[in-house]
Amino acid sequence: MQRFWVNIDGNIEEHTVPESIDEVVPGVCWGGPEELFTPAFWKYQSEAQMRRNLYRDHRLGETLLEEIAVCLLGGYGIPAEMGMIAFQRLRDEGLLDGHANEQALHDRLIEPFAVGGKQRRYRFARQKASYLARSLERARDFSVDVPERQLREQLLVLPGIGPKTASWVVRNHLDSDEVAIIDVHLHRACVMMNVFEADSHPAKDYFGLEDLFLKFANAIKVRASILDAVMWDFMRRIGPTSKPMKVAAPAQLQLAF
């Protein structure tokens, strides 16, 4: 067995994972916790973050409509920070209850936002305003008292919402481990481990990749919702040019981010 230690405010916990050459799922070896992007590394990161009570509360909105809105406003081509400040503006002005029309939403989205001391514009304002107005109006009568994947099926009929956004809403609002957000960051991490094939693509086989990820999370005994969030945050911070490497001896591992 391999050992690693989690040090949180002086409280040290010892954890173990199988040997580096052992398979966690078919074709994927554990690797070492000191090696970036291995299953053992993600196990270590997840255990450390859970003990700091991070990545446990995924909700960004207070209601299902707000969660739909914040996920629609983020996503492809929109930095997470821009998506959040756009969401906050619309929420603060009472425009996310399903009654605001497209023009009202567009008028507020095209006004510049203060980001890092600079004025920046929200991309795709007309398209997102259209998606928001129609999706929120149709979702007003949605119930969350249904199985998690059934709620996702309902969300998939809304304008502008595909499998990733629908899964994002369900994961956040219901704290669900039954779905996964297969975006470019998580996909890259899973390709590095050989959990996903290098030529795979979420647009072609989202649910097949999701199934592989959920099985992987179960195999390393980490909640899928937490592992998803840890991978997303870590991979987006280090950028797309990262390569596997060793970061420390196991006995010296500390929180990596």
Residues 205-220 pLDDT 10s: 999 999 999 999 999 9
Report the pLDDT averaged over residues 31-50. Answer: 93
**CA–CA distance, 209 with 194 (Å, rounded to integer):** 12
> Please, which residues bridge with residue 120 across strands?
113
Question: Is residue 70 a contact partner of residue 175, using CB atoms and an 8 Å limit?
Answer: no
Q: Give the Å distances, CA to CA, from 245 to 3, 36, 251, 257.
A: 18, 5, 17, 16
Report the pLDDT averaged over residues 224-231. Answer: 96
Domain ranges of the chain: 2-55+183-252, 64-174
pLDDT band at residue 7 using 50, 70 and 90 as cut-offs: confident
Note the pTM of the prediction, 2 decimals.
Answer: 0.88
> Please, which residues bridge with residue 115 across strands?
118
pLDDT band at residue 32 using 50, 70 and 90 as cut-offs: very high
Chain segment 161-179, per-residue pLDDT in tens: 999 999 999 999 999 999 9
Chain segment 194-204, per-residue pLDDT in tens: 999 999 999 99
Cβ atoms within 10 Å of 9's Cβ, excluding its own: 7
Chain segment 86-97, per-residue pLDDT in tens: 999 999 999 999
Report the pLDDT averaged over residues 209-238. Answer: 95
pLDDT band at residue 243 using 50, 70 and 90 as cut-offs: low
Q: What are phi and psi of 28, to 5 degrees?
A: -130, 115
Residue 3 has pLDDT above 90, yes or no: no
pLDDT band at residue 249 using 50, 70 and 90 as cut-offs: very low
67-70, long-range: CB < 8 A, 24+ apart: 67/169, 67/172, 67/173, 68/135, 68/136, 68/139, 68/155, 68/158, 68/161, 68/169, 69/96, 69/132, 69/136
For residue 86, give both structure tokens: 């756009």
Homologous superfamily of 64-174: Hypothetical protein; domain 2 (1.10.340.30)
Q: Give the Å distances, CA to CA, from 69 to 20, 79, 131, 135, 190.
A: 43, 15, 9, 9, 28
- The sign one gets for the Cα dihedral 202, 71, 69, 50 is positive
